[in-house]
Amino acid sequence: MLEYYNYIKSLHLIFVITWFAGLFYIPRLFVYQIEASQKPSPDKEILGNQLKLMAKRLWFIITWPSSILATLFAIWLLVLMPGWLEQPWMHVKLGFVVLLILYHLKCHHIYKQLQNDIIKWSSNQMRMWNEGSTIILFSVIFLVVVRDAVNWIYGVISIISLSILLMMGIKLYKRIRDKNPEA
């Protein structure tokens, strides 16, 4: 079975990429749905219906299948390479995977609410939520590539710094948008 290792790893990576693509785009659609709900009729209904359809297709045709396939291929890799489970970096990576799954499930909850016209988030809050998957992605990629060579203090400082920069970028964008609604 080890002769198939690189194929399995390639498929795992492909589905991780498409899973993240879905997780990057679905909160964007949520932002647009929230903003469309504040428009006057008939724009509100036309945009709302179109965005719901786009979210449904993205969520159930790309994001959910990718998450399931990425997870199945990851489990298969761990079965082939059980020694990885003894590595401290793998424990941390699996912790981030649990966070990613929780993020995914929360996105599903938000998706269901918005499909039923239940809006509990502002568009700005959703923009901040959108950065959650980015932070998890950065964490996992650096952890996997650098592994044990990562000085944990610098790693934590880097993730916190990235988070602060992303939040500052969102606030700056909001200010620009408030001054110029067409931006």
Query: Among candidates 48, 50, 27, 26, which has minimal Cα distance to 36?
Result: 48
177 contacts 183 by C-beta, under 8 angstroms: yes
Residues in the chain: 183
Q: Which letter, b or e, does each residue of 151-164 get, where b requires 16 or more Cβ atoms within 10 Å of its Cβ?
A: eeeeeeeeeeeebe
CA distance between the termini of the chain: 53
Task: Check the annotation: does 12 bind a ligand.
Answer: yes
Sequence-separated (6 or more) residues with CB below 8 Å from residue 110: 27, 30, 121, 126, 129
Task: Check the annotation: does 93 bind a ligand.
Answer: yes
Residues annotated in the binding site, as ranges? 12, 93
Residues annotated in the binding site for heme, as ranges? 12, 93
